Structure 1
């Protein structure tokens, strides 16, 4: 979550008047995250999240995301529904951006997950994959393997402004991992594709919410678990791999979806791909975040360090 687009109190109050949610009491921009503009909104009746979708989320994709949330909510998953207005619409426009008012879910995102919390969260991911088994919607992964090289080329030599040699290190990594990518050899599904600790709400060791589905897409199912593994098993700076957390993630997920021999064989490649994907998107955001945006930039080098954990060959070549 972040704030790129500013919304005045007057504009927000006028927006809320189209809903049966009460009167505006307060609103606060949320700096965490990097994708959309988000506000925590309190009315005299309840609490909500207002999301304005920035350029990375296409307005045409919103029906897919909202249909997906409705589908998995009907299966009992704790996901945040969009709130319809008085005309039963859930997709709106505010400040020139597509926008949704979303029901607030209780819980907190853990910054240093324990093994028990990781196991519970991965179990929820397994439940999610089970719930989408009969979901008919599809969406290509706009940040998938085919997108890495074009995004790398758009960043260009400016990557070396982040760290000397980052351009060549990423070029080497992309060549190495893409050549080993399993493609259609593994089962595919709708996946969350961004299940970081800050996208899981918890109370103690219980999962109370899965949020931010705006990268959800159709891709390799085990890739979703690999993304989670890279996000949960390290400190924020990409150092300090926690084997207890990493093992707990696999254990929790496999209570619903035991990994096949092929998925196990390709898992480090999938995790390496996740590292490339997030190193690239973080690098792009690092180089292109507006100076006046209320946003906490994420360090792309933290994902290069993770990459070296999963692929010692690259660690040797780029050390």
Structure 2
């Protein structure tokens, strides 16, 4: 959510003539993130988020936008894309870039989640997965295994030998897992695939929203769970899983959507996969950066630590509350 493309007040006012959300009040760039340009757009009717898509093509965007619309209509608290009055389109164009306006969610991010937050998240994640089962559009996770296989050779020359060896061996392991019958049997559907602490909102212990769906795609539901656990349920300094938070998240999830046998079997492998995916993408962003006025690349060594922690101590579903 760095600012790659500057949007003037004049351009924002012109946009509000096409998408009638009240009179223009202010436009403010949002810091953080590395994929899109984001602004808080305040009007006489409320607060919205204007996103200009910097890497995604216009033909890729309907999946994300209509997935959010689908989930919002199913009662999941996600940003609801706003449409042009004349055309009904929710995919817009601003400053020559594909764009969207969504409502701003209430609450605030919980960057130090406790057991209660993880419990709330687990139930909401399961509801979201179930609500997505009848979403008709299809698009693969664009940062899935094929992208890992393409990107690892690009970042390998930048790494010292121990990290390069780990990256290469883990990629081989994930290719092996993906070819297994257990992996083929995993339940699939639309997943968020990037549900970190800063992509959710809370009011106290209550989860009030999930946003930033622009890495979403059809993948295994277990991969989504693994991505969440690797951020919400760990000690950030070491990457080690906090058992109490993990158990709370999994218990709340399975109370809504019980885990299948292949999911129970492959959770340790998917936790490794989730760590690998974000290690690769952070290496790519760190060593092959783009210009942006608020760009702050994330530290890639964080997810190297997370992956090493998953290897050193595979997660065990060891409480009756966590699974059925």
Give the TM-score normalised by the residue count of structure 2: 0.90
Match of 1:209 in 2: 209
Match of 2:321 in 1: none
Given the alignment of the two structures, is residue 78 of structure 1 paired with residue 77 of structure 2, yes or no? Answer: yes
Shift of 1:261: 2.3
**Greater CA deviation, 11-20 or 223-232?**
11-20
Shift of 1:126: 0.2
Q: Is the 8 A contact 1:226 1:270 kept in 2?
A: yes
Match of 2:163 in 1: 166
Query: For the structure 1 residues 121 and 244, does the alpha-carbon distance in structure 2 shift closer, same or farther, using more than 3 Å as the test?
Result: same
Cα displacement string for residues 231-279 of structure 1 (whole angstroms, at most 9, x for unaligned residues): 1112444535322111111111111111122211110100100111000
Structure 1, unpaired ranges of 5+: 315-319
Match of 1:68 in 2: 67
Match of 2:57 in 1: 58
Q: Is the 8 A contact 1:145 1:273 kept in 2?
A: no
Shift of 1:154: 2.2
Q: Is the 8 A contact 1:226 1:274 kept in 2?
A: yes
Query: For the structure 1 residues 31 and 254, does the alpha-carbon distance in structure 2 shift closer, same or farther, using more than 3 Å as the test?
Result: same
Shift of 1:215: 1.5
Query: For the structure 1 residues 309 and 9, does the alpha-carbon distance in structure 2 shift closer, same or farther, using more than 3 Å as the test?
Result: same
Query: For the structure 1 residues 235 and 96, does the alpha-carbon distance in structure 2 shift closer, same or farther, using more than 3 Å as the test?
Result: farther
Cα displacement string for residues 31-68 of structure 1 (whole angstroms, at most 9, x for unaligned residues): 1222211001111221100000111x221122112221
Shift of 1:114: 0.6
Cα displacement string for residues 103-129 of structure 1 (whole angstroms, at most 9, x for unaligned residues): 111111110101110110111010011
**Selected match of 1:180 from 177, 180, 185:** 177
Shift of 1:151: 0.9
Matches within 5 A, 1:9-20: 9-20=9-20
What's the secondary structure of 2:51's corresponding residue?
Answer: strand
Query: For the structure 1 residues 291 and 92, does the alpha-carbon distance in structure 2 shift closer, same or farther, using more than 3 Å as the test?
Result: closer
What is the alpha-carbon distance in structure 2 between the residues aligned to residue 146 and residue 248 of structure 1? 32
Match of 2:319 in 1: none
What is the alpha-carbon distance in structure 2 between the residues aligned to residue 236 and residue 36 of structure 1? 25
Query: For the structure 1 residues 240 and 267, does the alpha-carbon distance in structure 2 shift closer, same or farther, using more than 3 Å as the test?
Result: closer
Shift of 1:289: 2.5
Give the TM-score normalised by the residue count of structure 1: 0.91
Given the alignment of the two structures, is residue 91 of structure 1 paired with residue 91 of structure 2, yes or no? Answer: yes
Task: Give the aligned CA root-mean-square deviation in angstroms.
Answer: 1.9
Matches within 5 A, 1:12-161: 12-55=12-55, 57-87=56-86, 88-160=88-160
Q: Is the 8 A contact 2:240 2:309 kept in 1?
A: no
Q: Would you say how many aligned residue pairs link Structure 1 and Structure 2?
A: 310
Query: For the structure 1 residues 232 and 218, does the alpha-carbon distance in structure 2 shift closer, same or farther, using more than 3 Å as the test?
Result: same
Matches within 5 A, 1:252-263: 252-263=252-263
Q: Is the 8 A contact 1:238 1:303 kept in 2?
A: no
Cα displacement string for residues 168-216 of structure 1 (whole angstroms, at most 9, x for unaligned residues): 3211221233223343131211211111111111111111111111121
Q: Is the 8 A contact 2:240 2:306 kept in 1?
A: no
What is the alpha-carbon distance in structure 1 between the residues aligned to residue 66 and residue 106 of structure 2? 22
Structure 2, unpaired ranges of 5+: 315-324
